[in-house]
Structure 1
């Protein structure tokens, strides 16, 4: 049952704060396991299912800048990015970022999940253990691929671009694939089978160009869902000699909702630590500074923020008719609006040496970067011009230009989320601290150098690329350009992919069952619990996390 305001019962067994991918998946899976349990989902935003911008692949750019559908969260000036400030655009409303993301469907490498399991001492988070949850979520359409690793009966339809050849045949597909091959990159038939290092097909969660909102895909009959309702804090009871226990949540209206079994916070990587801090769980110094009564002191709340920093490069084509322009004959076929204008994702591993190892100052970072199967970078080639807001280049959208985007998937830089004040309507204070470590600069620099080699030095790349077009006043980034030239471009034009993770990290803020350490009756189920960065577009990992969390909760009853 969905309603648009706080007209609801005063007591539930489970109260879920946040109706994003994590909260919706958790609610649906938990209800399936415990059909008699009363479950409430509280969502601060609205229901986007009737909003035209949230339904189509062709409107991703517009939806991300729409304040009705996304939180436009200010990010503090970042030293590693030339003291630039920016905006984090994350989903606001039922389905969360599942209503606004680009719908790329990537799991990341098995070794990331295995590192997660090792770091928290629980093999239930390993790739092998999460595989049933990956399979149960997806329904691969259009072709059969590696049935040991994939599902065909899940609720989220996913389609490899390869299966769409007859509908979306991009003129540059063959040349791009050959350029990567000529640079020594292997083609991987299935990038979602645990080892994506190489060139893989893009897989998307668009269904004939339409977005699949989790809030519409999952069976939520029997779950109470209330939108446009902002939670102020979690409330607690505390008996002498016992840990505090979550008793419910207080809304900004002052209304209190009781939770007789658990409160589960699934408010997202930026809002979850804000809610914990406002509830009295966090760094004691922060709580004192804002006159918030201490429930449990934990300086790790809000720490360990990671995101995928990326840089876009603009390239001029020798033959503009093979690019995608506004009004291009290619785009008169509506099937080209069914997904992103690309065919492949390249997952790469940059060279490491003794110097790199010496720069890694913690065991955590050594394990993250030095694993043999670790994916350090992601590179994509878009068959269109990305725009000056990302690339720093202003050229016509006439089919003459294409864009490459390269991201650091193994960030060792860590940011922080806190609060500006105790006012629950204030946005969280976000310091991404991106590009802070020399290892991160090395990874992104070498990833960019690699794409420069692919397009500047291979016969296939030379056959369709006329030149690289840098921002005004900046040099072309050639394979032999000095490190400083790459570092300046990263500093001045790097942007995050809005894949935040880790601000309530498992092993530091929550235990291996997602229970908040130091209190009872409170869990966190969203990407903030990731103890290590996942080298992927993170929605797949969140679906699996929430599904397993539902099983863990149900088994404890």
Structure 2
């Protein structure tokens, strides 16, 4: 059978793939675009529209992998999930909508020597992606884009008491944490609207794009040093006249590159893979956001304050999105960061260090058995944002049938331990050292596996608790980093006609849940591709 041929083929139909396919087709209807996705088309699937219950989605909509045993965590192996459907993670995630702090983008621009990747350089593309729901800092937002996030304002009964506790702990109000300045406490923005998930595949116009679902890419075809197409499972070939664009995510993009002969030569040769393009940093620089959660028992659960209580469950407004009101972003004490740098030499000048996520439910986001989801318990999670730990993705075999070996190397720097301690201590301060916090809760929920953490806990004990209790926030990035694997135009170094557009290109950690970040990045990349197309 003759191979199908298109002007552009996009390998991976997740968030980035959908954005790039849509923008290319809208701007140039004369171009033929193929969007190739291993998962299914779930644009008409109702189960994805279940706020607060993302963990209940059918496993067929995810890749479910596990880390290699983490030396830094005493040998623990953590479960990893990535979206496996049209729309990718945007169709399966919790829906947080935050760009992160400008510090991260400005560090990105400095690393690659290109101001297009600074916060101000990316701002027009963030704005292009969104229709912001409120009049906030207007210069920071777009009001005519495909994505329509919403501002949480559902009148949850703990809203004001929890805010008072957070403010009493020393945080300031930040009415727009999506404006590039994240520090403080602000209202949650999310990609839910009126009980419906807003995701890339149902928000970006894909008319005219050839969509192939249930199609697994086995390898990228190279002729010499030029990418000319891809081989699918079963041997079918899909060819690209102009460019092959890889958008498989930070775990499977490096796997696909290496299986195609693009990667560290010595590692490829161990598996008998011919090195076509030696690229030492493919799979390196993996970073992620780990989270440690504490559960708190409510003082008056009979009032229907949390998910699971009949009074709460009978209010349909509470189910228009996630049961949350606030996001808190804070900094670790400077002296703790300085001490950490002196201990292992890993320094960071960032102050967008941690995020706190208060949920009005007993989330099962923990390696320990959670409390009953009966409305008597809420969760506060501490998320490490300015992570300096770096891991890697490598191959375990020559086949895409086998998942990659993923080693995030969590909490392996003194900086990250210091920031995680600061985040957890801040949760303790909010809930146990303020009058408003004590009004909300009688204390931490305890079980044989999860004993309470005292407010005077030592650093050493807190480190051990964190190492035993963290989970991933599923924000993997960095494994095909800009400046190392791709250039500032997202083009793969050493290969003609090939780009990468997904979170694997991020050279540094962002203080954000990555979907809003990636809409801006994909919009930026799409414009670069279109600019090049004009000149051909």
Please say which of residues 108-117 and 143-152 is displaced more in the overlay.
143-152
CA contact (8 A) 2:101 2:352 kept: yes
Cα distance in 1 for partners of 2:323, 2:279 equals 45
Q: Secondary structure at the match of 1:486?
A: helix
Q: What's 1:256 paired with? A: 237
Aligned partner (choices 341, 345, 354) of residue 361 of structure 1 = 345
- The question of 1:398 aligning with 2:370 is answered no
For normalisation by structure 2, the TM-score amounts to 0.96
- The question of 1:329 aligning with 2:306 is answered no
- C-alpha root-mean-square deviation of aligned residues, in Å? 1.6
Aligned partner (choices 423, 426, 431) of residue 399 of structure 2 = 423
Q: Secondary structure at the match of 2:99?
A: coil
- Deviation of 1:84 after TM superposition, in Å, equals 1.3
For normalisation by structure 1, the TM-score amounts to 0.92
Q: Secondary structure at the match of 1:249?
A: strand
- Deviation of 1:203 after TM superposition, in Å, equals 0.4
Cα distance in 2 for partners of 1:469, 1:521 equals 55
- Deviation of 1:266 after TM superposition, in Å, equals 0.2
Cα distance in 2 for partners of 1:324, 1:475 equals 22
- Deviation of 1:394 after TM superposition, in Å, equals 4.2
Cα distance in 1 for partners of 2:366, 2:206 equals 38
- Deviation of 1:493 after TM superposition, in Å, equals 1.0
Name the CA shift for 1:81/1:8 in 2 (closer, same or farther; >3 Å).
farther
CA contact (8 A) 1:505 1:530 kept: yes
Aligned partner (choices 416, 422, 438) of residue 440 of structure 1 = 416
Runs of 5+ unmatched residues, structure 1: 1-6, 239-243
Aligned partner (choices 370, 379, 386) of residue 349 of structure 2 = 370
- The question of 1:154 aligning with 2:145 is answered yes
Q: What's 1:34 paired with? A: 28
Cα distance in 1 for partners of 2:437, 2:95 equals 28
CA contact (8 A) 1:323 1:384 kept: no
* Deviation sequence 1:238-263 (CA, Å, 0-9, x none): 2xxxxx11111111211222211111
- The question of 1:102 aligning with 2:94 is answered yes
- The question of 1:271 aligning with 2:252 is answered yes
Q: Secondary structure at the match of 1:139?
A: coil
- Deviation of 1:29 after TM superposition, in Å, equals 1.0
Q: Secondary structure at the match of 1:115?
A: helix
Q: What's 1:531 paired with? A: 507
CA contact (8 A) 1:58 1:339 kept: yes
- Deviation of 1:309 after TM superposition, in Å, equals 0.7
Cα distance in 2 for partners of 1:415, 1:352 equals 25
Name the CA shift for 1:477/1:282 in 2 (closer, same or farther; >3 Å).
same
CA contact (8 A) 1:19 1:42 kept: yes
- Deviation of 1:56 after TM superposition, in Å, equals 3.0
CA contact (8 A) 1:69 1:93 kept: yes
CA contact (8 A) 2:307 2:360 kept: no
Cα distance in 2 for partners of 1:360, 1:129 equals 33
CA contact (8 A) 1:49 1:55 kept: no
CA contact (8 A) 2:127 2:141 kept: yes
Q: What's 1:280 paired with? A: 261
Name the CA shift for 1:436/1:51 in 2 (closer, same or farther; >3 Å).
same
Runs of 5+ unmatched residues, structure 2: none
- The question of 1:61 aligning with 2:55 is answered yes
CA contact (8 A) 1:266 1:526 kept: yes
